[in-house]
Amino acid sequence: MHLASATDAPALGSVLPMAAPPAPEPGSTAPLADRFGRVARDLRISLTDRCNLRCAYCLPAEGLPWQPREQHLTADEIVAVARVLIDLGITTIRLTGGEPLLRRDLPEILAALHALPGLEDIALTTNGVLLERQAAALAAAGGARLNVSLDTADREQFRQVTRRDDLHRVLAGLTAARRHPELGPIKLNAVALRGVTEEALGGLLAVAASVDAELRFIEPMPLEADRHWSPDDGLTGEQLRTLLSARGTLRRLPAPPSATAQRFELGAGGQVVGFISSVSEPFCGSCDRLRLTADGQLRSCLFSHDETDLRAALRGGASPEDLEALVRDAVWRKPQGHGIDQPGFEPPQRPMSAIGG
Ligand code: SAM
């Protein structure tokens, strides 16, 4: 079952060559690969499209019309999809959103995922606002490596970027998470915003050091709901490294081929900083990710224009073999690249918050 987008515009690089072979059949021993030879290993599951912040590069101030909750996959449906994908070779799952800590059954989902054989790693991306209250329950459910999003450690800058005065809650959440080894190692993710990050660097490095977290900078991508992105909104990894080199020597760390971040040690203390420069230095050639939206749509690329409706399949009584066929076909059609730098690039219809970051 392949649902084309409403516009039916093909994603750049996603048009199948005329004589392209079909995806491997269900039951095949072939890896879960696309037609360019990339093998899917990493699944991002969005648990909700709702968020309790309104970051200017993501959501409008007034929020969005949220999806009705009955459209969201239930915990059992999420685990059923995860089981099929793990059997096909997925080894890492990241829970995200929207804000995943808004999902009340998050500890149950986490515990059920931990019980699946074959899953090697579970991570969770959160803005940290609700972390102080939930850290113990998440740890008791088996835990997850935490990525906490924090663009600045300055209260006024935080209020301007997120449109909420919640910096103290994020910092309290980080402190609470540190008490639970099941939630580590922690990473801090900062969107590299021109006009914000230059001033925020010192504070972010200090917070990261205080909780022993790697600090990573993410280039803003054209995934915001109100479509105002420009390539000049962000700082590239190279620009950030120039700024950081005033604080100490940067020494590059080795990275596996599928790594999205370029990592460096900074200065004599060796604080680790990473740069995820999806726009200026795309890593589509080694992308091993799939995404499942909160409403059960499988996407092979953040920027693709098509989705595969696993929710309809699940609720229509699809067998694991039926799901496998849908998944293999969706992966097979993964676009070659995001195409942001190509003429005619059209961002996806869903914003980041509704896909899962
Ligand atoms: N609410 C959670 C959080 O804040 O971590 C998870 C979802 S959020 C969409 C995941 C990550 O995507 C966050 O680090 C956020 O800053 C980032 N993000 C959102 N919109 C973005 C954009 N347009 N470009 C780059 N990163 C973005």
Q: Using the predicted structure, report yes or no on whether residue 14 has a pLDDT greater than 50.
A: no
Compute the 3-state secondary structure of the chain and give helix, strand, coil in percent, each to the nearest 5: 30, 15, 50
Specify if 27 maps to a domain: no
Residue 36 maps to a domain: no
Least confident of 66-70, 173-177, 219-223: 219-223
Interval 316-325 mean pLDDT: 96
Token reading at 204: 């972010």
CA of 57 to the centre of ligand 1 (A): 8
Asked if the model's pLDDT at residue 11 lies above 50, the reply is no
Query: Is residue 318's pLDDT more than 50?
Result: yes
Nearest Cα to Cα of residue 339 among 10, 8, 5, 2: 10
CB of 318 closer than 8 Å to CB of 274: no
Among the residue ranges 34-38, 107-111, 184-188, 282-286, the one predicted with the least confidence is 282-286
Mean pLDDT within 67-82: 97
Q: What is the token pair recorded at 284?
A: 């589509």
126 C-beta closer than 6 A to ligand 1: yes
The answer to whether 332 and 22 are in contact (CB under 8 A) is yes
Whether pLDDT at 4 is above 60: no
Residue 32 covered by a domain: no
Q: How far is the CA of 335 from the centre of ligand 1 (A)?
A: 22
Q: How far apart are CA 252 and CA 237, in angstroms?
A: 13
Say what percent of the chain tops pLDDT 70.
95
Which pLDDT value is given to residue 19? Answer: 57
Amino acid at 342: Q
109 lines ligand 1 (CB under 6 A): no
> From the CB of 127, is ligand 1 less than 6 Å away?
yes
Q: 354 C-alpha vs ligand 1 centroid, how far in Å?
A: 11
Please give the structure tokens belonging to residue 217.
């900078």
What value does the mean pLDDT of the chain take? Answer: 92
User: Domain residues for 122?
Assistant: 42-355
Q: What percent of the chain has pLDDT over 90?
A: 82
Per-residue pLDDT band for 125 (boundaries 50, 70, 90) equals very high
Q: Is the pLDDT of residue 28 over 60?
A: yes
306 falls within a domain: yes
CATH assignment at residue 219? 3.20.20.70
Torsion region of 248: left, alpha or beta (phi above 0 gives left; psi -120 to 50 gives alpha): left
Q: Is residue 351 part of a domain?
A: yes
Nearest alpha carbon, ligand 1 atom 1: 99
pLDDT of residue 308: 98
With CA atoms as reference, report the closest residue to 350 among 312, 313, 297, 310. Answer: 297
Higher pLDDT, 231 or 335: 335
**Assigned domain for 71 exists:** yes
Strands 306-309, 289-292: pairing kind = unpaired
* Residue 213 reports pLDDT greater than 90: yes
**Spacing, Cα 99 to ligand 1 middle (Å):** 9
Return the number of other C-beta atoms located less than 10 Å from residue 160's C-beta: 13
CB atoms closer than 10 angstroms to residue 343: 6
Which of the residue ranges 117-131, 225-239, 293-307 would you say has the lowest mean pLDDT? 225-239
Q: Is residue 6 one of the residues assigned to a domain? A: no
Does 84 reside within a domain? Answer: yes
Number of domains in the chain: 1
Note the pLDDT tens digit of each residue in 261-277. Answer: 999 999 999 999 999 99
| Predicted local confidence at residue 1, as pLDDT | 31
Q: What mean pLDDT comes out for the span 338-346?
A: 87
